[in-house]
Structure 1
Amino acid sequence: MGDRDWESWHDAYDVPGSYLERRLRVVQKWVAATLDSGAARVVSLCAGQGRDLLPVLAAHPRREQVRARLVELDERNVAAARRAAPPGVEVVCGDAASLGAYDGAVPADLVLACGVFGNVSDDDIRRTVGLLPQLCAPEATVIWTRHRREPDLVPRICGWFEGGGFERVTVEGDGFGVGVHRYAGPPAALEPGERMFTFR
């Protein structure tokens, strides 16, 4: 994961109008909509402090029906997420790139891959998209993010999703991309030994 301080990286979420704060609002909107539609099992890759999910879940009327697993490697962020996590949410300190980290928590109705695709290679993004069906229940929603700096990879990422059994719901964002795709393909068995990506 390099030398970046992933705890202080979260500080920008608290700055009104910042890139991360604006992106977070869009992600949380779609998390809420997915919970509204009945999602009951959630997994989050590279979950950080859980800000994509935990504040939404805390205020949601179905919060007691939702079970979630957040996977994060930074111990300080894991501690912060655990402090905020309600009953039914498991925060695992582990390698989010390993499909084995999700054993027992999938297939999920909502898969969060936010903050991942901007930190891995293009080949790893494509590989991750190809392996995500192993985390997905039928009709599962995947919410993902990627910056829109040139060369803008968001259209290609959408193509990889749509070529892999996913249907596009939307792509939103001003200077950033929040993608929402629904899995329409067949069930895929989890292969715990597989790895999705390597952080750069």
Structure 2
Amino acid sequence: MRVISLCAGQGRDLLEVLAGHPRRDDVRARLVELDARNTAVAEATARAAGLEGVEVVTADASITDHYRDLTPADLVLVCGVFGNITDEDVERTVDACVQLCATGGTVVWTRHRGAPDLVPVICEWFEKRGFDRQWVSEPDAGFGVGVHRFHGEPQPLATGMRMFTFVEEAEKQGRNS
């Protein structure tokens, strides 16, 4: 099983679950995160848990090159990204998921449910691209999480492509108006 995590932080979305999973040794994962402090924690956590199939990379997670030999993946984690980029970059990243995700693979993504609530639109973007909605948190849940399974045919990974750029809060508000 192949797993990629964009903007993985300290790997908390994957490492704690994987450490106790019976198929942990069947997983080859790449966690990409720009902050070296976070990757140091993720690396230490993976090594302490004996997760030999986990690779932690300190790099710009928005560049497709970092996923080249692990796509299409069975699980794609895009957590903590969609609330920090423009709507256009959210859609571009959803577009890229047809290159990142294997047929039958799953994308787990997050986005706040505050105004403007882009979650319904993100769901539409995924569904227009061959993903089936598996689960989405309710608007009043206090958080936004979506799970989509890909039923399409993966596209070849376009190397050298930037999926997104993090923006400052003021810039996000101006573009999301």
Structure-1-length-normalised TM-score: 0.79
- Tell me the residue number matched to 1:124: 89
Instruction: Find out whether 1:98 has 2:63 as its counterpart.
Output: yes
Instruction: Find out whether 1:49 has 2:10 as its counterpart.
Output: yes
For 2:15 and 2:67, how far apart are their aligned partners in 1?
Answer: 18
For 2:13 and 2:147, how far apart are their aligned partners in 1?
Answer: 14
Q: What is the aligned counterpart of 1:175 among 142, 147, 150?
A: 142
**Structure 2, gaps ≥5 residues long:** 168-177
Residue identity over aligned pairs, in percent, reads: 63
Q: What is the aligned counterpart of 2:32 among 43, 48, 71?
A: 71
For 1:157 and 1:137, how far apart are their aligned partners in 2?
Answer: 19
Q: What is the aligned counterpart of 1:60 among 9, 12, 21?
A: 21
**Structure 1, gaps ≥5 residues long:** 1-39
1:187, distance to aligned residue in structure 2 (A):
2.0
1:163, distance to aligned residue in structure 2 (A):
0.8
Structure 1 runs, 4 residues or longer, greater than 3 Å off: none
Instruction: Find out whether 1:165 has 2:126 as its counterpart.
Output: no
SS at match of 1:176: coil
- RMSD (CA atoms): 0.8
For 1:138 and 1:184, how far apart are their aligned partners in 2?
Answer: 5
- Tell me the residue number matched to 1:19: none
Instruction: Find out whether 1:143 has 2:143 as its counterpart.
Output: no
Corresponding letter in the other structure for 1:78: T
